[in-house]
Structure 1
Amino acid sequence: GYYGAIENQTNTITNNMYPSWFYISVHELGHMWFGDMITCKNWHHAWLNEGFASYSEAVYEEGVYGYDAYKDYVQSFEYWSGGTLYLENAEDTFNVFQGIIYDKGAYVIHMLRGVLGDSVFWDGIYTYSTDPDLMYGQATTEDFQEVIEDVSGEDLDYFFEQWVYDEYYPSYDYNFENRGDSLAFLIWQVQEQAGRRPLFTMPVEVKLLYNSGGDTTIRVWNDEIYQVFTVPISETVDMIEIDPNDLILCDKDYRPEIPVSLDENAPDQDTRVHIYPNPIGESATIEIISSSNNMNLTFYDISGKQSARISGLSGGMHHFDRGSIPGGMYVYVLRDASGQTILADKILLR
């Protein structure tokens, strides 16, 4: 059967309320602002009602028990299924009140807070909830986005397009490499292999864990499927963590077997590799610009497994038959005769 609650006014006093019902009360109180004072213009935008009311529960946790409790509560909103937050099919109300508008709606608001920072985020929420053009009226996702953009001064099309109007989430594979006084780390989005959106553009926090026991958290702008970042360091990094504060709905997996591109500090700056066509079909031409001999070119799939290896290469044109290698994104690594990596890059096989 169906169950639920609604934000009707009540003068009832309840003592020793069961915890789950207590948070339902918090949720319904959240509707006083988000759902009643400002309600969604139609059911396509129902997440503006239910996502905010659910997020109110996490805000209550933060206010009473602190930010760590907030973070723990937000994790209960993780939504891994498909479907868009903007409801395409809103004709049947029984299809409207599904978990996505509650859970993913709340998590998207949490992610927006992470993108903007607390000060700008709360200024934006206050401005939205007190906008005279929206108070005691109706709002759409576009209305909400416009207010937040006005307050933040940021273009947030990328955020709303991928999190509200598209589905699923990014899957990050990552690796790192100490290079003396700098650290190079790779972020590789691999969700395309599961038939999902190939790229989610987001600011991503990266925590550097030093050999001394200290740590530093930095933020990078991740807007490529396969992206290498280089940052200065004053001591050796033992490990990195991607999105350590869970500000993004994502999978993340440390993959030490995946090579980090060395394009920035290649030992032979005159060496270049051109592979065409790209994407590769049944075969390809590999052009190597180098004065070195006896090099090898190795292809790795997204799991880090070697898929193909061509040995004894020198500068010039070479033919590559794909054979039975399945389609997908790959990394190719060119190494010299001693096994030292010269360069690495990505390539797509159709």
Structure 2
Amino acid sequence: MKNFYILLLLSYVSGILAQSSEMETKNIAHAEMKSASALINLAVNPNTLNYDITYHKLEFTVDPAVYFITGKVTTTYTALANINTITFDLANELLVSSVKKNGVSLSFIRNTNNELIITLPSTQTTGTSNTLEIMYSGAPPVNGFNAFTIQTRGNGSKTLYTLSEPFGARDWWPCKQDLNDKVNSIDVYITAPSQYISVSNGIEPASPVINGANKTTHFHHGYPIPAYLICMAVTDYTVYNQQAGLNTAASPYYPIINYIYPENYNTTLQTQLAETPQILNLYETLVGPYPFRNEKYGHAQFGWGGGMEHTTVSFMVGFGRSLIAHEMAHQWFGDKITCGTWKDIWLNEGITEYMSGMVVEKFDGNPSFTSWKSSKINSVTSQANGNLYLTDAQSTDVNRIFSSRLTYNKGAMVTNMIRLKMGDTNFFQALKNYLNDPALAYGYAITPQFQAHLEAVSGLSFTEFFNDWVYNQGYPTYTVMAQNWGAGQAKITINQTQSDPSVSYFEMPVPVQLMGSNGQTFDALLDNTTNGQEFIVSVPFSVTGVLFDPNKNIISKNNTSTLGTDTFELAKAIEIYPNPVSNELHIQMPSDITVLKITILNDLGQKVLGSKALDFTVSSLSSGVHFAQIETSEGTYYKKFIKK
């Protein structure tokens, strides 16, 4: 009895933790949705597609007490066509005072499309490079985008931060907002009143320089980065240093730098942050080295309600483990490799959410991980439909792009099912190969490229799997029946129905656990490809119980699993005739059994007829294998028949 209450308590605690984790996922999704909501419908500017930026030197002068920015942006670019002008994205509210090339002023114009159009002194030919210097200043637009924000905290301290995802960078500096162009490297110089600490991407090559009442802090980031991940924050931070790595030749230490509001810096926060290096080390073990090891990882507190995975420094509203794990995982899936289109957003968010689930698995153990997966499954199956890969129409709907149910939770569980299908060794090797693919690393990827890496490592075809789980909709409901089948064997029969007609059958490895009377268990992973499929497995004990998917590895709902002498005696007592049948099908049941419903299914598990009657006219059915799904007061049974 004592053990029962302990198990009950553990189950209760795991459930509470799963609910908490699910709420954090919704909060993360909501925050990321809000950061993109006002911007998502902005098209890529076609006037910026004729050049490739290779370098930015960004010099900003700001004061958290004043809503204003003064900047000088020096940009090196390569022409992708013969050009006489070059266009940058820049909010009209920001005033450009000069544009120069090699110290010589160039003419420029502004238009109503938030563009800066610069006339070059001569035609720049394809493949040649130029460097331009743009001086500007002004109050960034206040438009709900939150790209440039000044806030007053509860203690009166001023905070300045930026949040540019996906098209907000132009609100505070002249840039190219094309999501398909990553800048090879950047240098950021932030000049602010000397009492403040400034934050940006990368490392500080030297100590800040004091000049009167101001201080200039230099950051260098030497990895490709899109405009929306370039960031700045300035306030009276307390700096809390940590380190990650294993102090080995293969895993040397590298810095973790946390920028914390001083009023929040306490032992509780330090305890929360203590897991940061542990999670980094875990991720490195699972999917390979932290992508920006030569620089840093870190966090900076800001006032937005969630987090933002700026490269090398995640901006965070708080430090719950789920948020730390999610934003950190984005450094691999989102920052190192970015989804190539909004249709592929699950490559950023779904895989990242699953990475945070593996933190639960490794740190808290399998019962907690099972509860975590169960909460994801419950979310996904709360509705009968929903595709993972977005349609054209969905790719401009911010609510759908950042759907916690589909993009995050279904994406995470589809990733889990890929792991189930491949096995751990192949799964993690495929993730490593994907992240290290020279054609994708520090660039962009789309779903077929991810699929190709899964297939290359496993030798399996994922075409049907992706058709069912990524491109189409719904989930299966399983009925599993097992019985002892001679000495040392059991027979397991699997049937399936689907919640959405877009999928005819979910071909999946199905986990089944058989149990014996003395506490023995036997786990089988059955490759289920057709309805009514039977498996004979060797079991070293007499089977007394059966569980479907005990560790919650498959998206499914309302599953049943049955075993027992009485059950199988009843199954034998149910007769279906004639078989094969041409016109009239008859089902004979024991008189003491109540029939609730009978459904005729085709060989794909799709309903073709239904009734409570025991007699059917089946002349309209197509020829081939069918099943009678018989729901009774004693359980559900399946009988196979052939339609001539």
TM-score interval for Structure 1 and Structure 2 normalised by the shorter chain: 0.7 to 0.9
Match of 2:471 among 162, 165, 189: 165
Number of residue equivalences: 300
CA distance in 1, matches of 2:463, 2:398: 28
Unaligned residue ranges in structure 2 (runs of 5+): 1-26, 36-162, 164-228, 234-257, 273-317, 590-594, 601-609, 620-625, 631-637
Structure 1 contact 198–225 (Cα < 8 Å) conserved: no
Provide the residue aligned with 1:73 in structure 2.
372
Provide the residue aligned with 1:189 in structure 2.
496
CA distance in 1, matches of 2:569, 2:395: 46
RMSD: 3.6
CA distance in 2, matches of 1:34, 1:64: 21
Provide the residue aligned with 1:301 in structure 2.
598
CA distance in 2, matches of 1:272, 1:229: 26
Letter of the 1:117 partner, please give it: G
**CA deviation after TM superposition for structure 1 residue 213, in Å:** 2.5
**CA deviation after TM superposition for structure 1 residue 236, in Å:** 2.0
Matches within 5 A, 1:18-167: 21-78=320-377, 79-80=380-381, 81=383, 82-88=385-391, 89-99=394-404, 100-167=406-473
Aligned to 1:135, the other structure's residue is in SS state coil
Task: Give the direction of change, closer, same or farther, for the CA distance of 1:214–1:168 in structure 2 (3 Å limit).
Answer: same
Structure 2 contact 510–527 (Cα < 8 Å) conserved: yes
**CA deviation after TM superposition for structure 1 residue 208, in Å:** 1.0
**CA deviation after TM superposition for structure 1 residue 226, in Å:** 2.1
**CA deviation after TM superposition for structure 1 residue 272, in Å:** 8.1
CA distance in 2, matches of 1:168, 1:177: 30
CA distance in 2, matches of 1:67, 1:309: 45
**CA deviation after TM superposition for structure 1 residue 261, in Å:** 8.1
CA distance in 1, matches of 2:617, 2:599: 20
Matches within 5 A, 1:201-240: 201-240=507-546
Provide the residue aligned with 1:12 in structure 2.
259
Aligned to 1:36, the other structure's residue is in SS state coil
Aligned to 1:275, the other structure's residue is in SS state coil
Letter of the 2:407 partner, please give it: I
Provide the residue aligned with 2:640 in structure 1.
345
Task: Give the direction of change, closer, same or farther, for the CA distance of 1:191–1:301 in structure 2 (3 Å limit).
Answer: farther
Structure 1 contact 208–237 (Cα < 8 Å) conserved: yes
Provide the residue aligned with 2:31 in structure 1.
3
Structure 2 contact 580–641 (Cα < 8 Å) conserved: no
Letter of the 2:328 partner, please give it: L
Q: After superposition, what is the alpha-carbon deviation per residue over 1:68-88, rounded to whole angstroms, capped at 9, x for unaligned? A: 433333333221132100011
Higher relative contact order (CA 8 A, sep 6+): 1
Letter of the 2:388 partner, please give it: L
Provide the residue aligned with 2:8 in structure 1.
none
Structure 2 contact 581–641 (Cα < 8 Å) conserved: no
Provide the residue aligned with 2:50 in structure 1.
none
Aligned to 2:396, the other structure's residue is in SS state coil
Aligned to 1:155, the other structure's residue is in SS state coil
Provide the residue aligned with 2:290 in structure 1.
none
Task: Give the direction of change, closer, same or farther, for the CA distance of 1:141–1:260 in structure 2 (3 Å limit).
Answer: farther
Unaligned residue ranges in structure 1 (runs of 5+): 263-270, 277-283, 287-294, 311-319, 333-342
Task: Give the direction of change, closer, same or farther, for the CA distance of 1:67–1:132 in structure 2 (3 Å limit).
Answer: farther
CA distance in 1, matches of 2:519, 2:321: 41
Aligned to 2:495, the other structure's residue is in SS state strand
Letter of the 2:628 partner, please give it: Y
Letter of the 1:186 partner, please give it: T
Q: After superposition, what is the alpha-carbon deviation per residue over 1:257-316, rounded to whole angstroms, capped at 9, x for unaligned? A: 699988xxxxxxxx982123xxxxxxx156xxxxxxxx975697259x994447xxxxxx
CA distance in 2, matches of 1:172, 1:296: 23
CA distance in 1, matches of 2:571, 2:461: 31
CA distance in 1, matches of 2:618, 2:373: 46
Task: Give the direction of change, closer, same or farther, for the CA distance of 1:44–1:272 in structure 2 (3 Å limit).
Answer: same
Task: Give the direction of change, closer, same or farther, for the CA distance of 1:230–1:260 in structure 2 (3 Å limit).
Answer: farther
Taking structure 2 as the reference length, the TM-score comes to 0.42
Aligned to 1:240, the other structure's residue is in SS state strand
Max radius of gyration: which structure? 2
Structure 1 contact 210–235 (Cα < 8 Å) conserved: yes
Task: Give the direction of change, closer, same or farther, for the CA distance of 1:166–1:347 in structure 2 (3 Å limit).
Answer: farther
Task: Give the direction of change, closer, same or farther, for the CA distance of 1:150–1:62 in structure 2 (3 Å limit).
Answer: same
Provide the residue aligned with 2:203 in structure 1.
none
Aligned to 2:395, the other structure's residue is in SS state coil
CA distance in 2, matches of 1:85, 1:56: 18
Taking structure 1 as the reference length, the TM-score comes to 0.74
**Percent identical across equivalent pairs?**
28
Task: Give the direction of change, closer, same or farther, for the CA distance of 1:259–1:46 in structure 2 (3 Å limit).
Answer: farther
**CA deviation after TM superposition for structure 1 residue 39, in Å:** 0.6
CA distance in 2, matches of 1:260, 1:142: 48
CA distance in 2, matches of 1:261, 1:219: 24
Task: Give the direction of change, closer, same or farther, for the CA distance of 1:169–1:258 in structure 2 (3 Å limit).
Answer: farther
**CA deviation after TM superposition for structure 1 residue 24, in Å:** 1.5
Aligned to 1:167, the other structure's residue is in SS state coil
